[in-house]
Every structure is written in C-alpha cells, then in structure tokens.
Amino acid sequence: MKIYNTLTRKNEEFKALLDKAVTFYSCGPTVYDHQTIGNLRTYVLYDTLRRVLEAEGLEVKHVMNITDVGHLTSDGDEGEDKLEKGAKSSGKTVWEVAGENTEEFKRNLEQLNVSLPRLAKATDFIEQQIAMVQTLLDKGFAYQTDQAIYFDVSKLDSYGRLTGQKLTDKEVGARAEVVVDENKRHPQDFALWFFLVGRFANHEMNWASPWGQGFPGWHLECSAIVHSTLGDPIDIHSGAVDLIGTHHTNEMAQTEAAYGNSLANYWVHGEHLLVDGRRMGKSLGNFYTIKDVTDKGYEPLSLRLLYLQAHYRTQLNFTWRALSAAEAHLKNLQAWADLKFQSHLGHKNRAADVYGWALDKIKVELNNDLNTPQALSELSKLVALAEHEGVDTQKLQPFLEQIDRLFGLRLAGRQDIGEVAKSLIAQRESARLTKDWVKADQLRRQLSDQGIEINDTEHGPIWSRSARQRPGE
Ligand code: AMP
Ligand code: ZN
C-alpha cells in the first residue's frame, strides 16, 4: 500500500514496524463544543485508513485522544481556555461539558459507521504528562518561569522537520500576539505546563505537580498518550493539515527530546472541509453538525459518502447541493444492494467473476494513497453492469460485506421488504401478465404508499425503496 507521508513529502510504500500489526495514533476532538462536519471528515479519513490496512491483513492498534482538559483558543499559547468558554456560556461545569460532548462525539462516530478506536482522555493521563515534563526538565529541554514550564525549541536541532521550516524562518513569521511572558526565551517555545497565575489563576481544571498546581499544555497529551499506550515510534500519526505547523511539530519535538525516539514513521494529513471557501471551524463559527444534516432529512451515511467522493488530500467545499448528490449516489448503491433479495435475478451464471475483478480494482485504488473517488467509480461501474446484465444475487451478499469493510456504507446489512410486499409484487405481476391494467396500477399505488417502487425490466419486476422527501424540498 502507498501512502503520502508529510514528513518526506512523498508517496511511500507503507511498511509497518511489525509484520502483522500497525500502531496508529490520531488526534481526536476537543470536547468543549459539538463536532463539526469538518472534524468528522477527518475521523472518516482515520477510519478509511484503518479499514484499508485491515483489508491488507494487518491488525490496527488505533488510539485517539480526547482533549477534555481544555486548551487555548488558538494554536499558540495565547487566548482563553476553550472548555471554560464553552462551560461559561451554558452554565455547566467544565467536566459536564466535556462529558456531554464526548458522548455526542461517540454517537457521531456511530452514525457515520466509524469504528471506535481506543479513546484516551487527556485527563486520564495527567501523571504520564507530568512524568514527561520532568524528563524534559532533567534533560535540559525545558525551563520554568513563574507562568509556565516551556519547551526550549533552540535545544532541539531537529525542531520543525515536519514542515521543513527552519527556526529562523518561523521566528520572522511569529505573530505579535503570542503570549507575553517576558521570561520566555524564544517566541516559538511552547508551554508544557501552565501555572495558576495571571489569566489562569481561576482555571477550573488543575492538578498538583512537582512544580506547583497547574494544567498541561495542549501538545503534551498526544506525546504522553502515544508513549504510554502504543510506545514510540508508532507507524502512523494522523490529523488534518491545520495540525502540521504547530501541534504535530511540537508533539514530535517533545517525544524526540524526551525519549530519543522519533514519534511516528508516517504522517498522514487530511485536507479540510470548507464552507463558502473557508475552513469550517468551531472557532470560526461557520460550522454545521451532523444534527443539522439529519434535521434536514439526510442520512448520516450520505455525509460519509460525500467525504469519500473526494480524495483526502484535496479540500472539499461543503454545499447542501453536493450532499443531495451524495445522497442520490447512496440511494443508488442501496437499491443495487437490495437486488440480493430479488432472487429471480439470480439465474445469471457468469463465467467471469465480476465481483472478484471489481474488488481487486477497488483495492488497487484504495492502496494508492486511499484513492476513494477512483475506488467508488470502480464500484459504480459494477453497479451499472448490474443494470444492463442482471446480477448474480447469490454472490452479491458476500461482495457487499467486503465493500462495507472498505467503505463502511452499511450496504450488506439491509433488510428485505417482507413477505406481504413481496406477495403484492407477485400479484401485480400476474395482473400485468393477464393485461389487467387497472388492478396492476392499483397494486403499484399500494406498494408506492409503502415506500416501494416497481420498475419493470427484461429480468422481471425489480423493486426499490422510494427516496424520502426532505422537509423544505
Ligand atoms: P479539534 O476538535 O478542533 O481539535 O479538531 C479535531 C480534528 O479535526 C483535528 O484532527 C483537526 O485537524 C480536524 N479538523 C478541524 N477542522 C477541520 C476541517 N474544517 N476539516 C477537516 N478536519 C478538520
Ligand atoms: Zn495531537
């Protein structure tokens, strides 16, 4: 399998450290608010990567963090704590807000059929984070002021190698509003541990540490969680592109400095979901949630398909029109999956194994840097073939199971329409054959009221489920 590695800026053949298992860590949600459908695009990327690796026979050990400790409103160390801001506006404690949003996040993953990784809450790893700060202090990579303990970027030669930007380039680009701690040695130094002073004097979440009461900086948790759950280096580290410059750069620096190991061999970054041409973001206030999507009557899996229709390294501009098109695509796939219940189509006995071919082609595309749009187009070719040549219904179900393992579109587990509806279809067919058009039409209407449409084809009547009306359409 080939995957684009941000670290080397190349499409590389993926080789895991172990023979049969892959260690995979991905940056998870900050839970001070709902997940946006932008965030969800990235979780579907993680899930797709995992599915494709599993299809290659690898066991994937996937860990994702939950940032429930609250972090600052922007990538730098400046700004207000996001979790406290969220709590303040809803009259709840920070713990309540974090808990509720974590549960909602899990439900969102379920709706999108994203298999649940091992979730690691930052607040469950405080001890490990403190130990890491201690190691960095002991090794001379960190220093303390009265506001915080900072990582000293000038001490690590490899600092910034993920972006290839030299420290001096970054220094020039450093923004004026970056935290004013006059004892900070270098503008790019970042906090490992904050003390309860100044604007953080009343920070709700805080813990005892050898240096005083405080809370961890937001890059620290990922390095500490990787170290204590998977061990460094891991095979793959992933996130969306906004994390490259600061968060991943700093995670990498912490691990290299503390443990002398690189953090990950492959760095996989997904592009953003945009809205009106701008990144969809919680802090930007221009976001939709999955609830907005289902309130409009869309299936959550239409959103999953929308994501898969674009390559993960291209930006995707969200529009309702694009979502409608994805839903039509999904309905088409579902109608095809439903053919497995229509056994009168199953007599086609093909010499060639079209399903085997299609599966191979799909896997070739996915193994090429997760080319989901091409993989889907291979699937569409097979669906189109069914329209022309009928379908081998017996082989369809096992094929759908394979397809679901890769795309997660829940095509295999669909239910039959039931005996009553099937008997109505049979009655209508006899009416039609005896040219009793009135009865045939009346039966068609009866079926339609139950959400079933009939299409008379050369292979016999084929039923499909009617598209639902969405409110406001
Ligand atoms: P956050 O909860 O904001 O820390 O983000 C959780 C994950 O979503 C991280 O991997 C981010 O890089 C990613 N992310 C944030 N905004 C977007 C977006 N508009 N499109 C895709 N991924 C995003
Ligand atoms: Zn992270």
Q: Tens digit of pLDDT for each residue in 18-54?
A: 999 999 999 999 998 899 999 999 999 999 999 999 9
For the CA of 247, the closest atom of ligand 1 is 12
Beta partners for residue 142, in sequence order? 151
* Ligand number, closest to the Cα atom of 224: 2
Res 241: pLDDT? 97
- 34-48, 155-169, 371-385, 444-458: least confident range: 155-169
Average pLDDT over all residues of the chain? 91
Which residue, 375, 411, 384, 407, is CA-closest to 396?
411
Total residue count of the chain as it appears in this document: 473
Furthest-apart CA pair in the chain: how many Å? 93
Mutational test site, ligand 1, from 30, 33, 34, 39, max ligand atoms within 8 Å of CB: 39
CB contact at 8 A, 194 and 148: yes
The percent of residues above 70 in pLDDT, for the chain, comes to 91
Mutational test site, ligand 1, from 33, 42, 82, 283, max ligand atoms within 8 Å of CB: 42
Which residue, 295, 383, 292, 283, is CA-closest to 339?
383
* Ligand number, closest to the Cα atom of 274: 1
CB contact at 8 A, 437 and 408: no
CB contact at 8 A, 222 and 255: no
Sign of the torsion angle spanned by Cα atoms 151, 154, 158, 160: positive
The CA–CA distances, whole Å, from 432 to 78, 339, 428 equal 74, 21, 6
The Cα angle at residue 281 between residues 278 and 283, in degrees rounded to 5: 120
- Please tell me which residue, 319 or 70, carries the higher pLDDT value: 319
29 lines ligand 1 (CB under 6 A): yes
**Is residue 421 over pLDDT 80?**
yes
CB contact at 8 A, 67 and 29: yes
Res 283: pLDDT? 74
State the average pLDDT over residues 394-415: 96
3 state SS of 288: coil
The percent of residues above 90 in pLDDT, for the chain, comes to 77
Res 350: pLDDT? 62
335 lines ligand 1 (CB under 6 A): no
**Is residue 202 over pLDDT 80?**
yes
CB contact at 8 A, 15 and 8: no
Residues with CB under 5 A from ligand 2 (ion): 27, 222
> What band does 173 get if pLDDT is binned at 50, 70 and 90?
very low
CB contact at 8 A, 274 and 62: no
Separation of alpha carbons 153 and 197, rounded Å: 23
State the average pLDDT over residues 372-391: 89
pLDDT digits (tens, 9 = 90+) for 88-97: 777 888 889 8
Res 150: pLDDT? 97
Separation of alpha carbons 380 and 308, rounded Å: 13
State the average pLDDT over residues 250-267: 97
Res 175: pLDDT? 42
H or E stretch covering 378: helix 372-389
CB contact at 8 A, 214 and 246: no
Res 243: pLDDT? 96
Residue whose Cα lies nearest atom 18 of ligand 1: it is: 38
Res 393: pLDDT? 84
Ligand 1 center–CA 38 separation, angstroms:
6
386 lines ligand 1 (CB under 6 A): no
Res 85: pLDDT? 73
**Is residue 166 over pLDDT 60?**
yes
* Ligand number, closest to the Cα atom of 222: 2
Residue whose Cα lies nearest atom 14 of ligand 1: it is: 39
Beta partners for residue 388, in sequence order? none
Residue whose Cα lies nearest atom 5 of ligand 1: it is: 29
> What band does 390 get if pLDDT is binned at 50, 70 and 90?
confident
Query: What is the reported pTM?
Result: 0.94
3 state SS of 453: strand
272 lines ligand 1 (CB under 6 A): yes
**Is residue 178 over pLDDT 80?**
no
39 lines ligand 1 (CB under 6 A): yes
- Please tell me which residue, 182 or 37, carries the higher pLDDT value: 37
CB contact at 8 A, 392 and 346: yes
**Is residue 211 over pLDDT 50?**
yes
Separation of alpha carbons 53 and 32, rounded Å: 32
CA 103 from centroid of its chain's CA atoms: 16
Res 167: pLDDT? 64
* Ligand number, closest to the Cα atom of 223: 2
Q: In this structure, what token pair is assigned to residue 229?
A: 């759950």
Q: To which residue do tokens 């759950």 refer?
A: 229
Sheet holding 234-240, edge to edge: 118-121, 59-66, 21-26, 234-240, 264-270
State the average pLDDT over residues 374-388: 90
**Is residue 306 over pLDDT 60?**
yes
Res 107: pLDDT? 98
Res 78: pLDDT? 54
**Is residue 392 over pLDDT 90?**
no
Res 87: pLDDT? 72
**Is residue 137 over pLDDT 80?**
yes
Half-sphere exposure of 292 (CA within 13 A, CB side): 13
Res 417: pLDDT? 94
State the average pLDDT over residues 297-307: 98
- 56-65, 202-211, 263-272, 358-367: least confident range: 202-211
237 lines ligand 1 (CB under 6 A): no
H or E stretch covering 316: strand 316-318
Res 343: pLDDT? 80
Angle between helix 220-229 and helix 126-138 axes, rounded to 10 deg: 100
What are the residue boundaries of the structural domains of the chain, listed by start? 2-270, 278-407, 419-465
Res 76: pLDDT? 52
Separation of alpha carbons 278 and 272, rounded Å: 9
Which residue, 248, 253, 221, is CA-closest to 237?
248
Res 176: pLDDT? 39
64 lines ligand 1 (CB under 6 A): no
273 lines ligand 1 (CB under 6 A): yes
Res 280: pLDDT? 87
Separation of alpha carbons 231 and 223, rounded Å: 10
Ligand 1 center–CA 429 separation, angstroms:
53
Which amino acid is present at 324? S
Which residue, 262, 236, 244, is CA-closest to 24?
236
CATH code given to domain 2-270? 3.40.50.620
